[in-house]
Amino acid sequence: MVLGKYKTVVSARSTDKEILEKSQDGGIVTQLFVFALENGYIDGAIVTGIGDRPWKPRPYIATTKEEILAARGTKYNISPNISWIKEATRSFGLDKVGIVGTPCQMQAIRKGQLYPIGLREVPDKIALAIGIFCMENFPYKSIQQLVEDHAGQKMQAVKKMEIGKGKFWVYTERGNVVSLPLKITHKYEQPGCHVCLDYVANLGDISTGSVGSPDGWSTVFIRTKKGEEIWNRAIAAGCFETTPIDQVKPGLELVTKLANEKITKNKKYIEERASYGVNKGLRNPYI
Ligand code: FAD
Ligand code: SF4
């Protein structure tokens, strides 16, 4: 169960070249939101753009294709997307809200739907929750230090950051590519991530990440009935190319291995904390 419940899992990428051009992986998140918006499944989506400093995440509500596209790409910091849910329904008047987030944010959404304290009238308005895989996250200062001090690049010159193949990669607009071994990045991780037991966003309607699929493609878990309906309609509309997951390398085996590694390592940390009386009750009820 380290991969959570799902109906289908495939390797996929968007068929829209404009989406693919600046997307992090296969453009799954952007393509799904655009399709959902254009076909009435959502009337806006809470996405993560860039704020007042280079690569500092800023959540906002996208109600057009252009605004959804403007959020393409991964920002390796916490983006408080959940804090915009009320704003989306009240100030923007959305009745069908799309939202993207990390596994912990998917948990917060589902918890908010079950116990809507402070989220009154909101639970039924979450129309599509897309989870992204997440091994760890970083405070903004840490990303700055990694990019500027370790990789020797200016934040404003960075085109893309990526974690993959055992390294943290920085790509600049001028074509520089710098990679750092993960043993350098570990100490910069956000400490809260070390008690996290979900790698593949078990609670999204659909969840996606690069791991398991070839470069430029994404691994996609379709988890809920709602997710399945939107996914099947998007496939029928020609939005995605897909390949069965058992026909791609490294495939589900690597996703399972990494999920197991995250959970085992963090469980050990939780137990260690429990031994001195902290967070005894922490657990993931889904595994
Ligand atoms: P795109 O079409 O490019 O769209 C990206 C979407 O992600 C945008 O809608 C944007 O709003 C949203 N987004 C960007 N940054 C954030 C953020 N900080 N918080 C919430 N939403 C955001 N994938 C793996 O396979 N393995 C990993 O270990 C892994 N770790 C990750 C760690 C972090 C902190 C984050 C944010 C993502 C991680 N991912 C990981 C997911 C991966 O980097 C891509 O986000 C995912 O594959 C979606 O790619 P895409 O081409 O479909 O998205
Ligand atoms: Fe959230 Fe877990 Fe990712 Fe940290 S590792 S950002 S707690 S999902």
Burial class of residue 191 in the structure, from the number of CB atoms within 10 Å of its CB (0-12 exposed, 13-18 middle, 19+ buried): exposed
| Ligand 1 neighbour 132 (Cβ under 6 A) | yes
Q: How far is the CA of 6 from the centre of ligand 2 (A)?
A: 20
> pLDDT at position 47, please?
98
| Ligand 1 neighbour 134 (Cβ under 6 A) | yes
Q: How far is the CA of 100 from the centre of ligand 1 (A)?
A: 9
> pLDDT at position 285, please?
52
Estimate to the nearest angstrom the gap between the alpha carbon of 223 and the chain centroid.
Answer: 15
> pLDDT at position 65, please?
98
pLDDT in 10s for each residue of the chain, 287 residues: 899 999 999 999 999 999 999 999 999 999 999 999 999 999 999 999 999 999 999 999 999 999 999 999 999 999 999 999 999 998 999 999 999 999 999 999 999 898 877 777 788 899 999 999 999 999 999 999 999 999 999 999 999 999 999 999 999 999 999 999 999 999 999 999 999 999 999 999 999 999 999 999 999 999 999 999 999 999 999 999 999 999 999 999 999 999 999 999 999 999 988 887 776 555 555 55
Domains and CATH numbers, the chain: 8-135+195-274 (no CATH), 138-188 (3.10.450.750)
